[in-house]
Amino acid sequence: MGYLPGFRKNFRLDPKADLSDISIAVEAICKAYEIAVSYLGEITPQENSTGFRIHSILHLLGRVSEHAQAMLVALITSSTTSSEALARIVVEGSVNLTYLVSKGNAVTLVRFYRAWLLEHNRKLSEWKSNIENEPYRLRVESMIGERQLLVLGLEAYINQVEDHCSLKNIQSVPDWPRSLFKRFEAIGRQTDYYESYHRLSGSSHISGEDTLIWLLSLGGSDEQQYRIKAEADAYATMMTRIACTFFIDAITASVIAYGRFENADLRACKDSLVKAVAEIAKQAGVPSSDSNGYPSN
C-alpha cells in the first residue's frame, strides 16, 4: 500500500511485523493529511488574518496527525491501552479544530489562544500561593517566575497579532467555548461525546473499569480469559479507527473553510474507516444495530 512502507520505516517497525490491523487507518489519515497540507499550503493569503489562521490550522493538524500516528504505533506494538488514551487526544484535538474552522474565525482563534494563557496564568498564581509557607518557596518561585515571563511574552505576541491582523474590537464573533462538550454540541456531535470520547476516558484516567474486568476474568477459564482479551484488543482497534474518522472530519472542515468543496477523495478515506469499524464491531463487543454499531455521519 502507498503509505504503509513509509510508516513502517519512520517508526522503525520490524519488517516482518503484521500491520494489517492498522493498514486502513494509516492509509486513510496519511492521505487525508497530505491532501490538507498540499491544499492549504498553496493558498496565498490576501489578508494578514488569513495567513495567521492558515498557519495555525496547519500546525494544529500536524499535532493531531502526530498523535494519530503514535496511537496506531501503540496499537500495533501491543500497547492497546495506550492507543485508547491517545485516541482520546485525537478525538479532542479533532473536535477543537473542527469547531475552530467551521464555527469560528481568526478572532475565535485568538480567543482559543487567550483561553490557554489565562488558565495557565491562573494555575501559576495558584501554585505560587500554595507554597507561601514552604521551605523551598524561593527556589520554586524562581521557576514559576520564569514561566510567567514566558506567558507574558506569548500574551504580547497575541496582542501584536491582533494589531497586525486588525482583529481588535470586532463584534458578533463566535466565542471559544470553555467546555469541550459545548464544542461537540456546537458541531452537532453531542452524541459522539458519550459514544466515543467519554468511552475512552477509562484508559486515559486509569479508572477502575479495566481492572475490575480483569479481576472478574480471574475466575474464568483460560478460554474465557482469552475471549475477554481478544474482545478488548478488537475494541481498541475499533476505537482507533473511530478516532481517525474524527481527524478526517477535521481535515475536511479545514479545507472546506478555504473553498475546497469537492472532497470525494477525503470522503473515500473516511468511508474506508467506517467500513473497517463496522467489520470489527462484533468482535469488539458492540451490540448489533441498523448502523452496524457506528453512525455513518
pLDDT tens digit string along 8-35?
999 999 999 999 999 999 999 999 999 9
Q: What are the C-alpha distances in Å from 101 to residues 60, 178, 249, 255, 268?
A: 11, 17, 11, 9, 21
Judge contact between 73 and 20, C-beta under 8 A: no
With cell 496565498, the residue in question is 44
Burial class (CB in 10 A: 0-12, 13-18, 19+), 179: exposed
Last residue of a domain, one of 173, 199, 223: 173
The predicted pLDDT at position 203 comes to 86
Judge contact between 229 and 264, C-beta under 8 A: no
Answer yes or no: is 294 within a domain. no
Answer yes or no: is 50 within a domain. yes
Q: Same domain, yes or no, for 82 and 212? A: yes
Answer yes or no: is 296 within a domain. no
Q: Same domain, yes or no, for 188 and 58? A: yes
Last residue of a domain, one of 173, 204, 231: 173
Q: What are the C-alpha distances in Å from 185 to residues 177, 205, 215?
A: 10, 23, 36
| Domain of residue 94, residue span | 4-104+177-281
Q: 177: which 3 cell numbers? A: 467555548
Answer yes or no: is 125 within a domain. yes
Answer yes or no: is 240 within a domain. yes
Nearest to 83 by CA among 210, 221, 241: 241
Q: Same domain, yes or no, for 128 and 90? A: no
Q: Same domain, yes or no, for 69 and 190? A: yes
Q: Same domain, yes or no, for 168 and 72? A: no
Answer yes or no: is 11 within a domain. yes
Last residue of a domain, one of 173, 203, 229: 173
**pTM of this prediction exceeds 0.85:** yes
How far is residue 289's CA from residue 284's CA, in Å, rounded to a whole number?
14
The predicted pLDDT at position 209 comes to 87
How far is residue 55's CA from residue 34's CA, in Å, rounded to a whole number?
15
Q: Same domain, yes or no, for 32 and 157? A: no
Q: Same domain, yes or no, for 48 and 134? A: no
Answer yes or no: is 24 within a domain. yes
pLDDT of the chain, 297 residues: tens digit per residue = 599 999 999 999 999 999 999 999 999 999 999 999 999 999 999 999 999 999 999 999 999 999 999 999 999 999 999 999 999 999 999 999 999 999 999 999 999 999 999 999 999 999 999 999 999 999 999 999 999 999 999 999 999 999 999 998 887 788 899 999 999 999 999 999 999 998 888 888 889 988 998 898 999 998 998 898 999 999 999 999 999 999 999 999 999 999 999 999 999 999 999 999 999 999 999 887 544 444 444
| Counted domains in the chain | 2
Q: Same domain, yes or no, for 160 and 221? A: no
